[in-house]
Structure 1
Amino acid sequence: MDQARDVTINIRATQSQRDLIDYAAEVQGKSRSEFMLESAYQKAQDVLLDRSFFALDTQKFDQFEALLDAPPALNDRLRALLTTKAPWE
């Protein structure tokens, strides 16, 4: 379900940037605002997805999974972190 667009985003651009955006929007049959919002939204999704998704071949995935499944190595700093009471507790 579409939400009402009730927030304004303002940006400054050069004349040539605006002209290019306008031309691309026109080619797609969209307004400048529609084109810019869809483009920025897609780019934001791509950036965030790049930070949370990575592809591995089968061999590398098996190695990765084995590392995740292995118990952590003894580590005094990790032990201290996990046994220290949180400030809000």
Structure 2
Amino acid sequence: MTTAPIRNQKLDLRLTPQAKAYLQAAAQTAHRSVSEFVLESALSKAEETLAERRAFALDAERWEAFSAALDAEPRDLPAVRELFNSDSPFESR
């Protein structure tokens, strides 16, 4: 038997009475507590949002252009070179 992770973190929300009633109705329809409904919904949206940043699809023509750009020799960008050679504002002088 697998042990469920201990949920010991709390997240507080401020919402309108209408939003709360809407979430309660949706949770009841899904046969979940409001906490379960909100957590599952938020995690699903977070997964979807983060997946968009990790994966993307390209057609064959764009894939070739993307691959060529990755394989190309780096361009000399004087402004970037100067930036990397300058002192960081976060380091003490």
TM-score normalised to structure 2 length: 0.75
After superposition, give the CA deviation of every residue in 1:2-32 in whole Å (9 maximum; x if it has no partner).
3100011111111111111111111111110
- What pairs with 1:3-82 in structure 2 (closer than 5 Å)? 3-79=5-81, 81=84
Identity %: 33
TM superposition outliers: structure 1 runs of 4+ over 6 Å:
none
From the superposition, tell whether residues 77 and 2 of structure 1 become closer, same or farther in structure 2 (CA, over 3 Å). Answer: farther
- The unaligned stretches of length 5 or more in structure 2 are none
What number of residue pairs does the alignment pair up? 86
CA distance in 2, matches of 1:68, 1:13: 46
Q: Report the TM-score, using the length of structure 1 for normalisation.
A: 0.78
Corresponding position of 1:2: 4
Contiguous gaps of at least 5 residues in structure 1: none
Structure 1 residues 67-76 or 5-14, which shifts more? 67-76
